[in-house]
Amino acid sequence: MMRLLAFKSVPTHSSRRRAQHCRPLSRPQKARGTARMARFFSYESGAAAQHPARARIDREALSALVGLAGLLTLAGCQQDPYRFLQSGDGGAKDLPSFVDGVPLPDRGLTDARQDRGKTLDFGVPDLSYDACRARAEVCNNVDDNCDGVADEGFDKQNDPRYCDNCKGCAFLFAKSALPGCAAGVCTIASCAGGYIDLDGKINNGCEYQCTETGPERCDGVDNDCDGQVDEGVTFSQNTCIQLGACAGAKPVCRGTSGWVCDYGPDVQLLPCTKDADCGSGISCDTTAGVCPGVVIGNETLCDGKDNDCDTVADDPWTNPSLSTAIGKECSPDPSKQGVCRAQGSYGCNAAQTGVECKITTPAKAPSDEACNGLDDDCDGKIDEVEDDAAGKGAKDAMVRVQRTYKSKTYDFWIYAYEASRPDATASSGGARSGGRSCSRAGVLPWGNVTYAQAKAACAATGKRLCTGGEWEAACVTASADPYPYGPAYQGQTCNGADNTTGAGDSLTTGALTSCQGGLTGIFDLSGNLREWTDDPRGSTSGTPSKTIYAVRGGAYHTPSLGLSCTFDLSQAVEDVILPANGFRCCADKAD
């Protein structure tokens, strides 16, 4: 059955919507419309010839359509004469099977129902007010060609041109990266030459400019392009200087300078202002002003250190031919003598640029001469005896002995203390030999001395080595007791084998104040050191013959019998040198 064509009213358009739905037709649109109209009128002409009544109805519907098109044109819309808005019947009822009693054949067509947007006879979809206008499909999430599917033909899951929901990945070209696409997400397929995707982030592409050249080596370059420079490198051979202050030095990696010896703070490096000052391959450290790892040829610092690694510290100032060589004695006032003259030696100055006289013994005011290895009275003489016109000179501590002992009358002076060297101290016996001896308290006595040396040391002071009789007369008490302190042996009174204070060695002169006698003020006649006396007891056989002399009083290792004043059996050959052998001097008059 033919269906009655009906029209829905068209709402008023705004200028924008009018531009969307009322626009001039293109040539292809006109061609398609002409074909549709030709099919329509061909069908209608055939139907009208067989059914005049139906033809009348169709003509009336067609006239209505044409009229509606005219109204739209007057409203400002240029209409497509070949396409009708709302080609359905808007819900019109089917015509009856008979018009005026005449049956209406449908030529095989199905009776039309209320179409409600369904397709009618010519295969043309019903058009709504916002009709789809077909155009070439592009990737934009829109159905451009009106086929009910958006973006067909575009691989948004794998094609980097349409990846990320049509946005594409072309932005990576500007970031040194070739784009890729996986599961709709932009990826980096590869990086441009000389670039690395170090951080794995897509937004900055291949951000790290680097060309891989192999395993990492010491050159200040990221050879393996992992974002680190010179990491994990080790030197193959230690070529650093190993002498003096350079001993133990090892190479360290210093970037573009390569392996550089680390010599530590005591080594002086070659100064520089530019790379050419350092030699081939070494860059000048202009901040420090030195060539890294290059030791200076001759040190310029006087600091007590071997700055140039030649095993000699401060060698420019240690040459013995120099009058100011380090260690040589000096004085700020060389015109003065003795203790009045400050003494020192040359050493490095505070600026470390050379040497200066460093005072070790400040000057003192002059005083009476003492037997101490010093020129106390500043007259240019050391420990001189009292022989000048003023009666000045070094005075020894002496005690006068006036008594009759063993039927012999004595009147002489004797050293109050065992003889000592002039330079002796409480911790050292001194080193001066061939000079005078001294009698003073608080120093170590003069041991390791021969008979001849002892006799000469006494003579140098205008005195003599005591005879055996003089020595014994000075030792015994007024009651002629055998020990200087009394009739009975006392192990802790004097420094013998039983004394715990000495502990098997000599003590300083006068250390045991209880060990006095026979006259008050004479110390250590028992123990400490055996004392040479001018008391010959025979001679050795053979040639040359040597004289044997008595040594009196015992020593620090002597038992009780040998520590008595009267024991005279201890004897020694004149040239014997023993640590326990010492002496003291006697004189006819005091100093």
Q: Give pLDDT tens digits for 488-536.
A: 999 999 999 999 998 889 999 999 999 998 899 999 999 999 999 999 9
Kindly state whether residue 249 falls inside one of the protein's structural domains: yes
Is residue 249 located within the same domain as residue 352?
Answer: no
CA distance 432 to 582: 15
Mean pLDDT over all residues of the chain? Answer: 82
Kindly state whether residue 212 falls inside one of the protein's structural domains: no
Is residue 4 located within the same domain as residue 120?
Answer: yes
Strand partners, 357: 346
Confidence of residue 314 (pLDDT cuts 50, 70, 90): very high
**Separation in Å, CA 488 to CA 351, 391, 469, 564, 566:** 68, 44, 22, 10, 13
**Which of 266, 237, 520, 220 shows the shortest CA–CA distance to 399?**
520
pTM listed for this prediction = 0.50
Task: Assess whether pLDDT exceeds 60 at residue 125.
Answer: no
CATH number of the domain where residue 567 is located:
3.90.1580.10
Strand partners, 329: 345
Kindly state whether residue 489 falls inside one of the protein's structural domains: yes
Q: What pLDDT score does 279 carry? A: 79
Phi, psi of 550 (to 5 degrees): -75, 135
User: For the ranges 8-17, 153-162, 211-220, which has the lowest average pLDDT?
Assistant: 8-17
Is residue 579 located within the same domain as residue 436?
Answer: yes
Q: What pLDDT score does 382 carry? A: 86
Amino acid at site 528: N
Kindly state whether residue 161 falls inside one of the protein's structural domains: no
Is residue 412 located within the same domain as residue 350?
Answer: no
Structure tokens at 103: 């049956």
| More confident: 392 or 399 | 399
Report strand pairing: 98-99 vs 571-573. Answer: unpaired
Kindly state whether residue 355 falls inside one of the protein's structural domains: yes
Is residue 409 located within the same domain as residue 346?
Answer: no
Is residue 277 located within the same domain as residue 357?
Answer: no
Confidence of residue 132 (pLDDT cuts 50, 70, 90): confident
- Final residue belonging to a domain, choices 133, 167, 190: 133
**Which of 520, 491, 464, 502 shows the shortest CA–CA distance to 579?**
502
Strand partners, 312: none
pLDDT digits (tens, 9 = 90+) for 191-218: 999 999 999 999 999 999 999 999 999 9
**Which of 169, 167, 139 shows the shortest CA–CA distance to 153?**
139
| More confident: 519 or 14 | 519
Is residue 403 located within the same domain as residue 552?
Answer: yes
- Final residue belonging to a domain, choices 258, 288, 317: 317
Instruction: Convert 195-225 to b/e letters by CB count within 10 Å (16 or more is b).
Output: bbbbeeebeebbbbebeeeeebebbebbbbb
Helix axes 52-74, 27-50, angle to 10 degrees: 150
Region of 141 please: left (phi>0), alpha (psi -120 to 50) or beta: left
pLDDT digits (tens, 9 = 90+) for 244-264: 999 999 999 988 888 999 999
Is residue 450 located within the same domain as residue 470?
Answer: yes
Is residue 451 located within the same domain as residue 566?
Answer: yes
Kindly state whether residue 588 falls inside one of the protein's structural domains: yes
Kindly state whether residue 334 falls inside one of the protein's structural domains: yes
pLDDT digits (tens, 9 = 90+) for 459-497: 999 999 999 999 999 999 999 999 999 999 999 999 999
Q: What pLDDT score does 503 carry? A: 81
Is residue 352 located within the same domain as residue 307?
Answer: no
Q: Residue 377, Cα to own-chain centre: how many angstroms?
A: 58
CA distance 357 to 117: 121
Kindly state whether residue 219 falls inside one of the protein's structural domains: no
Calculate the dihedral angle through the C-alpha atoms of 437, 440, 442, 444, rounding to the nearest 10 degrees. Answer: 20
Q: What pLDDT score does 365 carry? A: 94
Is residue 447 located within the same domain as residue 309?
Answer: no
Task: Provide the domain limits for residue 474.
Answer: 396-591
User: Domain total for the chain?
Assistant: 4
